[in-house]
Amino acid sequence: MVTVRAPATSANLGSGFDVFGAALTRPADVVTVEKAAETTIEVTGVGAQYIPEDPEKNTVGAVVEALDAPARIHIDKGVRPASGLGSSAASAAGAAVALNRLYDRGLSRSELVPIAAEGEAVVSGVAHSDNVAPSILGGFTVTTSEGTHAVDASIPLVVCLPDVAVSTRDARRVVPETASMEDLVETVGNAATLAVGMCRSDPDLVGAGMSDPVVTPERARLITGYDEVCDAAFDAGATGVTVSGAGPAVLAVCRDGRRRGVAAAMLDAFSEAGIDARAYQSRIGRGATVLEE
């Protein structure tokens, strides 16, 4: 038996659509696997009632297939589904690390990234790796078709999760198919600024590089109260605010000592918009950890 804790993640970080990701210190899924002749999946925890246990429909089923590793699998969800916090990815990442150990497949963490991404194709239609990469490798990640680069960065974060669901599949439908040269230049500049900020663990640079003129404005329309929540976070000292993944979670970058105030301001702003929410005071954290084997 192998048990793995795989963290929630925030993808895109505004300017890095489908490329950037960051592991969060909390929340996380815990995935336990045992060898079995046929694969079965049991799901408990946050939002378990919305998650299919059929291996054809659960993200971990695709990982089982890719590793040819049938197992009795238990997923204890800490990451609410349809959150923008890489819920579907956390389970897939945890299963990839656990099954690799259980069956002694000998794959490196980097080699597990495209395998776990197959699970994302099951739920969103696209095998995007920007959530599974940080959930497996930890830190800030840059993923392209050539592979993933991971950087350890110490950045305080707040993620505020409103009590509404947005499916990644639906939120991908609002992504514009084209962008102007002006928007492209702005986005590249912001993304480069953010990456430098991560390498220096500098929340001011990271925050300055999060803004994105193309995808985020379209996604923000799906989140009631988004503009007010951003204003409140900036007023409380956030250095950057954006949609986390495909939403509805909202991600704020802060300097040390500002997370509590930023979290309270974001919760108040959602509440004034009539939306219940919860806030996680987090930081960029480590990747999946083996708890037991």
Ligand X SMILES: Nc1ncnc2c1ncn2[C@@H]1O[C@H](COP(=O)(O)OP(=O)(O)O)[C@@H](O)[C@H]1O
Binding residues: 80-90
- Which of 3, 59, 120, 187 is catalytic? The answer is 120
**Quick one: what does residue 15 bind among ligand LJ64HWYM, ligand X, none, with the CB cut-off 5 to 8 Å set by partner type?**
none
Q: Is 38 a catalytic residue?
A: no
Q: For the residues of the chain, what is the DSSP string, one character each?
A: -EEEEEEEEEE-TTT-TTTEEEEEEEEEEEEEEEE-SS-EEEEEETTGGGS--STTTSHHHHHHHHHT--EEEEEEE-S-TTSSS-HHHHHHHHHHHHHHHHTT----HHHHHHHHHHHHHHHHSS---TTHHHHHHBSEEEEETTEEEEE----EEEEEEESS---HHHHHTTS-S---HHHHHHHHHHHHHHHHHHHTT-HHHHHHT---SSSHHHHHTTSTTHHHHHHHHHHTTEEEEEE-TTSSSEEEEE-TT-HHHHHHHHHHHHHHTT--EEEEEEEB-B--EEEE-
Residue 172 touches which member of ligand X, ligand LJ64HWYM, none, C-beta under 5-8 Å by kind: ligand LJ64HWYM
Count the residues of the shown chain that bind ligand X, applying the rule CB under 6 A: 23
Q: Which is nearer to ligand LJ64HWYM, 46 or 264 (CB)?
A: 46
What x/- string results for residues 169 through 188 when contact with ligand LJ64HWYM is judged by CB under 6 A?
--xx----------------
Selected binder of ligand LJ64HWYM within 60, 62, 66, 85 (CB under 6 A): 85
Report if residue 218 touches ligand LJ64HWYM, rule: CB under 6 A.
no
* For ligand LJ64HWYM, the closer CB: 34 or 170: 170
Q: CB under 5 to 8 A by kind: which of ligand LJ64HWYM, ligand X, none does 58 bind?
A: ligand X
Residue set of the binding site for ATP: 80-90
Q: Which two tokens stand for residue 238?
A: 């956030």
Taking a C-beta distance cutoff of 8 angstroms, is the pair 266, 163 a contact? no
Span of 107-115, 123-131, 177-185, 186-194 interacting with ligand LJ64HWYM by CB under 6 A: 123-131
Q: Which is nearer to ligand X, 202 or 212 (CB)?
A: 212
CA-based nearest residue to 207, from 245, 256, 259, 155: 155
128 interacts with ligand LJ64HWYM by CB under 6 A? yes
Q: Which of 127, 151, 115 is nearest to 287 (CA)?
A: 151
Catalytic residue check, 120: yes
Closest approach of ligand X to the CB of residue 50, in Å: 5
- Indicate whether 212 belongs to the interface with ligand LJ64HWYM (CB under 6 A): no
Which of 59, 148, 168, 187 is catalytic? The answer is 168
Partner in contact with 12, chosen from ligand LJ64HWYM, ligand X, none, beta carbon below 5 to 8 Å by kind: ligand LJ64HWYM
Q: Which of 258, 232, 260, 229 is nearest to 244 (CA)?
A: 229
Choose among ligand LJ64HWYM, ligand X, none what residue 135 binds, the Cβ cut-off being 5 to 8 Å by kind.
none
| Interface residues toward ligand LJ64HWYM, by CB under 6 A | 11-12, 17-18, 84-86, 128, 130-131, 168, 171-172, 245-246
Q: Which residues are catalytic?
A: 120, 168
